[in-house]
Chain A
Amino acid sequence: DAKTTQPPSMDCAEGRAANLPCNHSTISGNEYVYWYRQIHSQGPQYIIHGLKNNETNEMASLIITEDRKSSTLILPHATLRDTAVYYCIVHAGNMLTFGGGTRLMVKP
């Protein structure tokens, strides 16, 4: 599986968009980009995934560059409840490999 690189931490003001970057320069053609988050010590929560095209759901948007070597997760209007560790994962199979993630702190 391709490895990912994420900043260890980021801050965001409440109500503003949170843009979380992820580099995955060794991604293979059949590997998806997944985003999960983990709030405090709860089980991780699926957010979104994509292969080539940008994706949007009720939680977030995922922007994947044309060469697929990087992506950005966008939380359009961050709230205090979005404070969590966000994991970017690239994988082709069924099981996930988690890295260190980005600790997002949403501040009032």
Chain B
Amino acid sequence: NAGVTQTPKFQVLKTGQSMTLQCAQDMNHEYMSWYRQDPGMGLRLIHYSVGAGITDQGEVPNGYNVSRSTTEDFPLRLLSAAPSQTSVYFCASSYRFLTSGYSYNEQFFGPGTRLTVL
């Protein structure tokens, strides 16, 4: 298994440009999510999906769009890039386990995309 893959590894954009960060997983995971990590900070959730055709907003969704047409892919679209979106973007996927009424998961993270917006 390749696990969670992200492309590109690095990207430089000019303010106002749009682009799509790609994320794919080959583990048949239901859940996928996008996080951003600013320098010296923890990760913050942007958007997530609990299955194909279902997405929801996380902590910092403004300026980003997502869609989930297949189980494997979860692209993140920057509509009009701004310098404040300079960050490292991580994609993650997981199963959802249910036991005795409790749910938990183990998230697998991709290697990240380092985005700079000038």
B106 touches A97 (CB 8 A): no
Bound state CA distance, A92 and B103, in angstroms?
7
Residues of B within 8 A of A100 (CB): 41-42
A43 touches B111 (CB 8 A): yes
* Tally of contact residues, A, Cβ under 8 A: 23
- The dominant DSSP class at the B interface is strand
- The dominant DSSP class at the A interface is loop
Residues of A within 8 A of B35 (CB): 98
B111 touches A42 (CB 8 A): yes
Contact with B along A43-61 (1 / 0, CB 8 A): 1111001010000000000
Nearest chain B residue, comparing its CB with the CB of A50: B104
Asked if B74 lies at the interface with its beta carbon under 8 angstroms from chain A, I say no
Nearest chain A residue, comparing its CB with the CB of B39: A41
Asked if B71 lies at the interface with its beta carbon under 8 angstroms from chain A, I say no
A64 → chain B closest CB, angstroms: 14
B115 → chain A closest CB, angstroms: 13
A positions within 8 Å CB-CB of B:
30, 32, 34, 36, 41-46, 49, 51, 87, 92-101
B positions within 8 Å CB-CB of A:
4, 31, 33, 35, 41-45, 48, 50, 58-59, 88, 90, 92, 94, 96, 101-112
